[in-house]
Amino acid sequence: MPLDHYLTLGRSGLRVSPFCLGAMTFGNEWGFGSDPKESEDILTRFAAAGGNFIDTANVYTKGHSEKVLGDWLRQKVSRRDRVVLATKFFGSMYPGDPNAGGAGRKSLTAACEQSLRRLQTDYIDLYWMHCWDNHTPIDETMRALDDLVRAGKVRYIGFSDTPAWKCAQAQVLAEWKGWSPLVALQIEYSLLERTVEGELMPMARELGLGVTPWSPLKSGALGGRYTRANKGKVDAKRGAWVLSALNDKAYDVLDVLLEAATELQATPAQVALSWVQNRPGVASTIIGARTVAQLEDNLKALDLTLTAKQVEALDAASAPMLDFPHQFLKAAGVFRSAETTINGEVNAANPLAPKTEAEAY
């Protein structure tokens, strides 16, 4: 799928590219990332290739990420309207101020105004709640977001890193009250993080939320630098973010990933990105790049087609252990519909069920 073959985001008419450019590392304030000039080169190449979806947050590189984006957008008059610009609220920019972060009306309204100033624009296409704020009633957050939409400062809203039950509560509340609904869900999703398949992914598909995975390479753990052969010998640029993911199960996944990459004459990163982007419910995968060369390499994943055998092997190696009742429900079909096929699901015989009608009381 080329980068300019767009998809609608969730239950909305918003067209986005299949890869979203993550701008978390635009600016060097965190000790890693891209300087403004390199960041602008990455943005220009992404747009030239057909990419129109860009994601940032108010707190990324202490606000510099939004400023870099704003400077780039202002270089050409047509850029702003051609880009689907997403940013987030929740993170505090002012330590010591209890209302500087979170999802309360005061906080998110101020955060929106500050983001608009740094981005040098009148509106945000997609405004994310960065995390769930357990100290704020969800109806307050949703009503405040609806007010921003009605004021023309925000076009669409979404949630990131929020439990499925809270997303569902917010979505049902919005439908009931006639407020702006959620159209998207941003969550960590990769071959090394699949527990979201228990609650979050099914919830998103059921409630019309387009999923935009973040960290599809697990902070670089799936990029190809880390293998079973060099275990413990390669320094992790992202420190604990990477090292905490490199356990025995991860190396099992990496073994299969490297094999598929060799067969396809691709990089492990390209295979991992292709796997994520083709998961049910995924709309646009967020990719990061510190250089134009890294961006070019990642974009090639859209041209990759994994074989059914390769997908099956990757699925098996990375299969997660989900919370109750998901493992239990895998056998529910036998109890519900033994010896039948429904929607392609073949249900085996139930040894505890009556063998004949005469055996049933």
pTM: predicted TM-score of the whole model, two decimal places = 0.94
Task: Specify whether 123 is catalytic.
Answer: no
Q: 138: which 2 tokens?
A: 């969800």
The encoded tokens of residue 219 equal 């902070």
Dist. CA 259–CA 268, nearest whole Å: 9
Looking at residue 234, what is its pLDDT? 66
* Number of C-beta neighbours around residue 232 at 10 A: 7
Q: Which residues pair with 84 in a beta bridge?
A: 53
Read off φ and ψ for residue 183, nearest 5 degrees.
Answer: -115, -10
Residue 353's pLDDT is 85
Residue 47 token pair: 């747009």
HSE value, Cβ hemisphere, 13 Å, CA-based, for 29: 14
Task: State residue 240's pLDDT score.
Answer: 66
* pLDDT value of position 360: 83
CA distances from 79 to 48, 58, 72, 155, 217 (A): 11, 20, 8, 17, 29
Instruction: Answer for the pair 100, 109: CB distance below 8 angstroms, yes or no.
Output: no
Sheet holding 53-55, edge to edge: 210-214, 182-188, 154-160, 124-129, 84-89, 53-55, 19-22, 285-287
Q: Give 229's Cβ-side CA count (13 Å radius).
A: 4
Contact 246, 221 (CB under 8 A): yes
Cα 195 to chain center, whole Å? 13
Helices and strands per DSSP (H, E), number in the chain = 14, 12
Q: What is the pLDDT at residue 330?
A: 85
- The one catalytic residue in 60, 123, 127, 156 is 60
What is the reported pLDDT for 243? 73
Domain formed by 7-314, architecture: Alpha-Beta Barrel (3.20)
How far apart CA 76 and CA 178 sit, in angstroms, is: 37
pLDDT per residue as tens, the chain (361 positions): 899 999 999 999 999 999 999 999 999 999 889 999 999 999 999 999 999 999 999 999 999 999 999 999 999 989 999 999 999 999 999 999 999 999 999 999 999 999 999 999 999 999 999 999 999 999 999 999 999 999 999 999 999 999 999 999 999 999 999 999 999 999 999 999 999 999 999 999 999 999 999 999 999 999 988 888 777 666 655 566 677 778 889 999 999 999 999 999 999 999 999 999 999 999 999 999 999 999 999 999 999 999 999 999 999 999 999 999 998 888 888 889 989 999 999 999 998 888 888 888 8
Which amino acid type is present at position 82? R
> In the chain, which ranges are continuous DSSP H helix?
36-48, 64-73, 79-82, 105-119, 138-150, 164-177, 200-207, 240-243, 248-264, 268-277, 292-299, 308-318, 326-329, 332-337
Q: Alpha helices of 265-299 — where are they, by DSSP H?
A: 268-277, 292-299
Task: Report the alpha-carbon distance of residue 269 to residue 287 in Å, rounded.
Answer: 11
Domain regions of the chain by residue span: 7-314
- Say which amino acid occupies 120: Q
